[in-house]
A and B are shown apart, each in its own frame.
Chain A
């Protein structure tokens, strides 16, 4: 499996990637909503324990890949202030078939929210 995992402070851009062996491509984009706990916000501030976050994300993807084999996984997570309407995370999975791609994308997001040391520290 090809892996790319990055935390960065700039707007997220994930360039197109053509893999002729992949018949299923799932891309999840997590976008900051205009409301947080019932209040209008301008954006969210994120912080991370970056070396551990990247290590745990890699491990989660390796574990999911061992059960649902995929060709590649790309994850970008933005840190710092993320304005409403912009992406906080992009996860893209390429697999031979859609089922594995969906399973890995969803499984990754579920585990990210339990295990990966990244925090929304405040709404602004």
Chain B
């Protein structure tokens, strides 16, 4: 799974992208737990960031698969 970080999520993670080897699909909640383990402090962004999976916002029942492209989407501010 490839993960992209943007804006304050990139600042907190200290990188703009990385790859994880997934043994099994992750729920959003499991993803946030894993993120906090790998990048302490990232869990604090859970209340403001959405998760995108393959360029679509992740639905509440959907899981992240091993070959997905995931992005953390902080509050947007385009225009």
- Of B18-26, B29-37, B38-46, B70-78, the stretch lying at the interface with chain A is B70-78
A18 to B4, CA, bound (A): 40
**How many interface residues does B have (CB within 8 Å)?**
13
A89 to B77, CA, bound (A): 12
A residues apposed to B, CB below 8 Å: 30, 46-49, 51-53, 55, 77, 88-89, 109, 112-121
Tell whether, in the assembled complex, residue A119 and residue B6 are in contact, meaning their CB atoms are under 8 Å apart: yes
The residue from B4, B7, B52, B56 contacting A119, defined by CB atoms under 8 A apart? B7
A88 to B79, CA, bound (A): 6
Kindly name the residue among A109, A117, A121 whose own CB sees the greatest number of chain B CB atoms within 10 A.
Answer: A117
B residues apposed to A, CB below 8 Å: 4, 6-7, 52, 55-56, 71, 73-74, 76-79
Given pairs A52-B52, A89-B78, A120-B77, 20 additional interface contacts (CB within 8 A): A48-B78, A49-B6, A49-B55, A49-B73, A51-B55, A52-B55, A55-B55, A88-B78, A113-B76, A113-B78, A113-B79, A116-B76, A116-B78, A117-B6, A117-B73, A117-B76, A117-B78, A119-B7, A119-B77, A121-B7
- Contacting residues, chain B, for A55 (C-beta < 8 A): 55-56
